[in-house]
Amino acid sequence: MATIELTRPLVLAIDLDETFLEGDASAKQDLLDLLDGSREQLNLVYMSHDTAEGLIGLAARAELPVPDVFLSDSGTTALKGDGSGTIDTLQRNIIQLWPGKAAVSRVVDAIEGAQLLEDDSPCRQAVHYDNDEAYEALVKGTDSIGCHLVLRRNNRVDVLPYGVDKGSSLGRWVVEENFNPMSVLAYGESLGDVSLFGRGWRGVCFPHGPQEMIKEATRFHNVYVAEADGPAGVLDGLRHFGWIPATAGV
């Protein structure tokens, strides 16, 4: 099979999950060959709700190339891809906006039907809520300390500093690096990934994502729902938006 090549520069931002460890072996090899052979035209960002350790470990197990950036902890931790530390300009802003876990704990402790969950992320706190009343109280309470909620599955929310999420962190990095937003393609697969869409760049939803996320994301004209998950879905999105030929990897 002919080598797949990019037709133009690309900032590829992918929310990684376990589907990158499974699926079509041929599609995975095609994607790896594309990423490895395109570094002069390619910048890579890996994202996850998971911790930095979990995200880096998943990328390693999937044998993906080293990225430029890791955005972990729902976008509240920005790490250099080579593992040498945080991206200071981004991380300082996030830390300055975060009121601290003690402040979040005081809000949650005052709400009947809300419980703190174990969360080692430095600038995020996971919370479980029992019902709509507890959720509405969390919205108001966290707003009072300069935070907002990102919905997860199974009555879980992430409490994040106001204005910080995967989409905003990716956007700040794109601006700092002076990339054209039209060169960015972001892939999401969970409710919290809605923040990746509607920001001027193109987006792709993995089809295994929740219908609430897909419905919200596809309100935007430049968001596509891939026909497959994992590496095959990444290739599908690249074909759809013309970064690789329409017949590449098919």
Q: Are 108 and 151 in contact (CB under 8 A)?
A: no
Q: What is the pLDDT along the chain (250 residues), one digit of tens a residue?
A: 467 899 999 999 999 988 888 778 899 999 999 999 998 999 999 999 999 999 999 999 999 999 999 999 999 999 999 988 999 999 999 999 999 999 999 999 999 999 999 999 999 999 999 999 999 999 999 999 999 999 988 899 999 999 999 999 999 999 999 999 999 999 999 888 999 999 999 999 999 999 999 999 999 999 999 999 999 999 999 999 999 998 876 6
Domains along the chain?
10-94+164-240 (3.40.50.1000), 99-161 (3.90.1070.10)
Produce one character per residue of 25-53: b if its CB has 16 or more CB atoms within 10 Å, e if not: eebbebbeebbeebeeebbbbbbbbbbbe
Residue with tokens 């794109």: 174
Please report the DSSP string for 211-238 in residue order. Answer: HHHHHHHTTSTTEEE-SSSHHHHHHHHH
**184-195 confidence digits (pLDDT tens):** 999 999 888 999
Q: What is the pLDDT of residue 83?
A: 82
Contact 208, 3 (CB under 8 A): no
Q: How far is CA 9 from the centre of its chain?
A: 20
Measured CA to CA in angstroms, residue 106 lies from 120, 142, 239 at distances of 18, 10, 49
